[in-house]
Amino acid sequence: MAWWGLGRTLWDGVAERGTALGFGVLIAVGELTRWAPARTGGPGRAARERESAPLGAAGALAYALLGEVGGRPTTHGVPQVLAVVLAAGLVGLVPRIALGRGPALDHLARRLLTVGFAAVCFQPLHSTGTLVARPADGPAHPLFLVGLLALTALCDAVLAAALARARTGWPYGPLLRDELRALLGIGSAVCATGVVISLATAVVGLWALPVFCLPLLLTQFAFRRFADVRTTYHQTIASLARATEIAGYTPHGHARRVAALSRAVGRELGLNELDLDVLEYAALMHDIGQLSLLDPVPAGATAPLPPAEQRRIALLGGAVVRQTGVPAEVAVIVERQADPFRDQPVTARIVRTVNAYDDLAGESAGTGGPLRALERLRLSTAQDHEPGVVEALARVLARNGRTG
């Protein structure tokens, strides 16, 4: 599509060069702000990066749906839409390449496919005059554009989930569900801005670009600030979780390993982004109750302790967690670590199983420790661990090459 759009545009010449330049600059600015320095990481990172250049996306969609500029019909067509989006996307890649991160070709390919879908659905109808003779013209025209962008958003969600599936190997269904849920957030803002820019440009010309893009640009900066706050909050929770390591109650890096592996297992089992965030927080702080012990448990493993002591540690840990301001579900997961797994929510079962695996597969386990740890977990599925969680853990470890 990129080669075809670029080749046809060079062969036929650029139509309405001022309009093409204006939208190209707008898209490039949106792509460049995508790579502005920002702290990332922690819970919700995938959701924050789902559309990291909303201004560029809105500008590209508006150009694909552009039929008039200041009352004059446009003639740029599908190939020029692709060429302008491609050129602006390549400009947006320059800072990333300069910083040595390599080109993000997945993002550019997804942008071209999504915008190409919208342009193919709209531009031929506009150029042949079909829209003028149909109910899609006149007062119904904005509704037609909204419906077309809704289909485009669905197309983008399918593409994004497919790319995430190919990149991570996670189940496609939960990924698509998360993408569709995200359409109600930043996705709806992008589509609405795209429609407004297209309609406003048709009436007042290119002056509509800076006027109607400013709210989305401010929203993008506010969204980035919110992401930074979330990242700082996650770092605070992670620092609190390290208190047990600093005090010598748990091995170094134990909480971080359990949190990362728990999130991967939760993703394997199809949990959504909100549940994964809760799961990660609970995994980070699942051992915080051990600070109530007079003497550390060997290697931080509480499984050999009497059930009453395990229950006391879990309840004390939940009480500490409730003071941190995290969602109440996090404290519930920590408090129910000592319950029979059949009485636990699935998130608590995941933390319990992953915690036991990390204890069994520690450095003291020697060569083949991870494999022996998995076998011991499988032998305990009748009483201590849910079989589905253990098998999901095995799949995650096999995918990461950590079962040998």
* Whether pLDDT at 273 is above 70: yes
Number of domains in the chain: 2
- 93 and 22 belong to one structural domain: yes
- 208 and 246 belong to one structural domain: no
Identify the DSSP state of 74. Answer: P
Of 171, 42, 49, 170, the C-alpha closest to 110 is 49
Helix locations, 169-301, DSSP H: 172-182, 188-204, 208-241, 243-246, 254-268, 273-284
What's the rounded Cα separation, in Å, for the pair 165 and 174?
Answer: 10
pLDDT of 132: 57
pLDDT tens by residue, 347-392: 999 999 998 888 888 755 556 678 888 888 888 887 888 899 999 9
What's the rounded Cα separation, in Å, for the pair 271 and 269?
Answer: 6
- 133 and 261 belong to one structural domain: no
Contacts of the segment 138-143: beta carbons below 8 A, 24+ positions apart: 141/199, 142/195, 142/199
pLDDT tens by residue, 82-116: 999 999 999 988 887 877 766 678 888 989 999 99
Contact 42, 260 (CB under 8 A): no
**Region 51-73 average pLDDT:** 85
> Is the pTM for the entire model greater than 0.85?
no
* Whether pLDDT at 335 is above 50: yes
pLDDT of 401: 64
Domain annotation covers residue 234: no
**Region 195-202 average pLDDT:** 89
- 44 and 181 belong to one structural domain: yes
Domain annotation covers residue 23: yes
pLDDT of 40: 41
What's the rounded Cα separation, in Å, for the pair 357 and 354?
Answer: 5
Domain annotation covers residue 183: yes
Contact 338, 313 (CB under 8 A): yes
Domain annotation covers residue 230: no
pLDDT of 262: 93
- Number of other residues whose CB lies within 10 A of the CB of residue 43: 23
**Region 36-46 average pLDDT:** 45
Domain annotation covers residue 404: no
- 213 and 344 belong to one structural domain: no
Domain annotation covers residue 372: yes
Domain annotation covers residue 236: no
- 176 and 302 belong to one structural domain: no
Cβ neighbours of residue 341 under 8 Å, at least 6 residues apart? 349, 352, 384, 385, 386
Distances (CA, A) of 18 to 73, 76, 77, 168: 14, 11, 15, 42
Residue-range definition of the domain harbouring residue 84? 2-225
